[in-house]
A and B are shown apart, each in its own frame.
Chain A
């Protein structure tokens, strides 16, 4: 029986889809059969980030409505074995996500996959609630910035009160923090919240810190999950995070400013 993970944040634009794509790819690279589902009905983007936008025929909503079989809607990744994408509808609205429908699809997926990763939309409306309702694990994507931290706290409250596990009095959804767009140099200058500050406020375990990196935009430009850019800091940080998710003890990297040589300082090169 596979595990359901939700990638959520409350606030938009913090890197949920980027992280979902990277994480799903990372899990598949480790040999786990993984599917990543886009829950952002009407604002589909996971397909673009994963680079499979031209292969979408049927979607999640078609499957919920019985208009297509699950096997018809699942897109197999061309690069990575064991990795599948379930895109969402670009035309329907989020009312198409019914609890029964989502449950049916997730039940079918957990039979076949080791991990089902749900990419949540922003907000705490239906789409977001449906994406987290059935979750076993939650990864809270947060930027070191006041509005993102506050919204993350809000979504943690929702997870603790309105998820299936909370409603049925089961073991609570495990929660881990993924701090993205972290800029150690700005932190050192006192311009950005420190990792420890965010951890103190949100009080959940740290899964990983993803440094601010130009590689993220480069990767999404070409439809490649950034974890596949093994030379980049962000890619390596995601790989470490996946290892930690799987229970390995990996030291955190990229949380302090990198020492720059005289040459690069003169040239003012970044990342």
Chain B
């Protein structure tokens, strides 16, 4: 036995780590098991409400659920098409979005929107995080308390 092994023996036994890991993962799994599994339906309905007003691409939607210690967070990131993409540019020869034209849709006119006018925008759509900037849908707007 080398001197290194002597010191390593003082480390936490693997069985203790096994127990702790199990307790954490199973607390989450049990919490998910009880009660109705409403999340998929909630997601669908939220999306359909947004789709009523804004033309969104279902593939550009990111839904994330974080289960924390005493509260859980449902995070929705929806990429909104730029105004140009929605209206379909008349002249296909022109770049899809001129600098200055790409403005966030959905009333998220915060300070950053103005700054972006100076940037070179090649994308026809601009990702807008609904979560950002204290708008209607805020990050963690839906919280589930346990």
Q: Which A residues form the contact surface with B (CB < 8 A)?
A: 145-146, 149-150, 153-154, 157, 161, 187, 189-194, 197, 200-201
Report the minimum CB–CB distance from A195 to chain B (whole Å).
12
Pairwise interchain contact B16-A146, C-beta atoms closer than 8 A: no
Pairwise interchain contact B16-A149, C-beta atoms closer than 8 A: no
Residues of A within 8 Å of B29, CB to CB, are 150, 153-154
Tell me if B18 counts as interface (CB < 8 A to partner A): yes
Among B16, B23, B25, B30, the residue within 8 A (CB) of A190 is: B16
Among A161, A190, A201, the residue within 8 A (CB) of B15 is: A190
Among B15, B21, B30, the residue within 8 A (CB) of A157 is: B30
Residues of B within 8 Å of A149, CB to CB, are 22
Pairwise interchain contact B23-A150, C-beta atoms closer than 8 A: no
- Interface residues of B, CB < 8 Å — how many? 14
Interface hits, B5-52 → A, CB 8 Å: 13-16, 18-19, 21-23, 25-26, 29-30, 33
Pairwise interchain contact B15-A150, C-beta atoms closer than 8 A: no
What are 9 A-B contacts with C-beta separation under 8 Å?
A146-B18, A146-B21, A150-B25, A150-B26, A150-B29, A161-B33, A197-B18, A201-B22, A201-B26
Report the minimum CB–CB distance from B19 to chain A (whole Å).
5
- Using A161-B33, A190-B14, A191-B13 as known contacts, list a sample of 10 further A-B pairs with CB atoms less than 8 Å apart, ordered by residue number in A: A145-B18, A146-B18, A153-B30, A157-B30, A187-B15, A189-B13, A190-B16, A191-B14, A194-B15, A201-B22
Residues of B within 8 Å of A145, CB to CB, are 18
Residues of B within 8 Å of A193, CB to CB, are 15, 18-19
Cα(A146)–Cα(B22), bound, Å: 7
Cα(A187)–Cα(B25), bound, Å: 22
Residues of B within 8 Å of A189, CB to CB, are 13
Cα(A153)–Cα(B30), bound, Å: 9
Cα(A234)–Cα(B38), bound, Å: 46
Residues of A within 8 Å of B15, CB to CB, are 187, 190-194, 197
Which partner residue on chain B sits nearest A153 by CB separation? Answer: B26
Query: Would A197 and B19 be within 8 Å (CB), given that A157-B33, A190-B13, A191-B13 are in contact?
Result: yes
Cα(A192)–Cα(B16), bound, Å: 9
